[in-house]
Amino acid sequence: MNGVMILVAIVAIGAMAAVVWLGVARSSASAAATVERIQRLAPEPPGAAPAEKVVKSEEEWRKQLTPEQFRVARQKGTERAFTGEYWDNHERGVYRCVCCGQELFDSETKFESGTGWPSFWAPIRPSAVATEMDSTLGLTRVEVLCSRCDAHLGHVFDDGPNPTGLRYCMNSASLTFEKR
């Protein structure tokens, strides 16, 4: 009887591992497709000059930012849903990087995603943000960074509204807002 139970347990563990692996493979494929969509929808104009990089030490960032801003923007943290300053902001203006001040998103592209984080269907210009694959939490997502200072902003997903079908799900702690 014990041998049968061990065999059943081994088969169950193998099946669970296969499900986890399949989920990771699907999330990787989905993330890769999202990056491809971003590049197709918003190619960088020919001859566009990249922004001059802002580089500071960890100590300099700590002095400039609040503890929450530092945790999110510099250590790739995430604020809790429905707690950030801008998730329910409906004013017209521009969202900037909390670290370097670069313009990132316009309120014209902000939409209600129901997620509890500020969500946009496109950055203010393609070169304002950079993307990287993020495999934390056991799945692969597309991380969004400020192209000027590499601050962690959030993630982009392929379940947004038209015209792009993208949802740039950002952390308020990584942003400042300049009213128009």
Domains and CATH numbers, the chain: 2-179 (2.170.150.20)
| Residue 44 CB contacts under 8 Å (≥ 6 apart), including other chains | 126, 127
Question: What does the pLDDT read at residue 105?
Answer: 98
pLDDT digits (tens, 9 = 90+) for 167-179: 999 999 999 999 9
- Position 55 scores a pLDDT of 95
Which phi and psi angles does 99 have, rounded to 5°? -85, -50
Model confidence pLDDT, tens digit, residues 7-65: 444 444 444 433 333 344 455 667 777 766 666 665 555 555 666 899 999 999 999 99
pLDDT in tens, 124-140: 999 999 999 999 888 89
**96-112 average pLDDT score:** 98
> In the chain, what percentage of residues exceed pLDDT 70?
74
Whether residue 162 has pLDDT greater than 60: yes
160 to each of 43, 114, 152, 157, 173, how far by Cα in Å?
Answer: 18, 11, 20, 7, 22
Has this prediction a pTM greater than 0.75? yes
* pLDDT at 139 (0 to 100): 86
Dihedral Cα 30, 35, 36, 42, nearest 10 deg: 140
Catalytic residues: 169
Query: What is the CB neighbour count within 10 angstroms for residue 130?
Result: 15
- Average per-residue pLDDT in the chain? 85
pLDDT for residue 103: 98
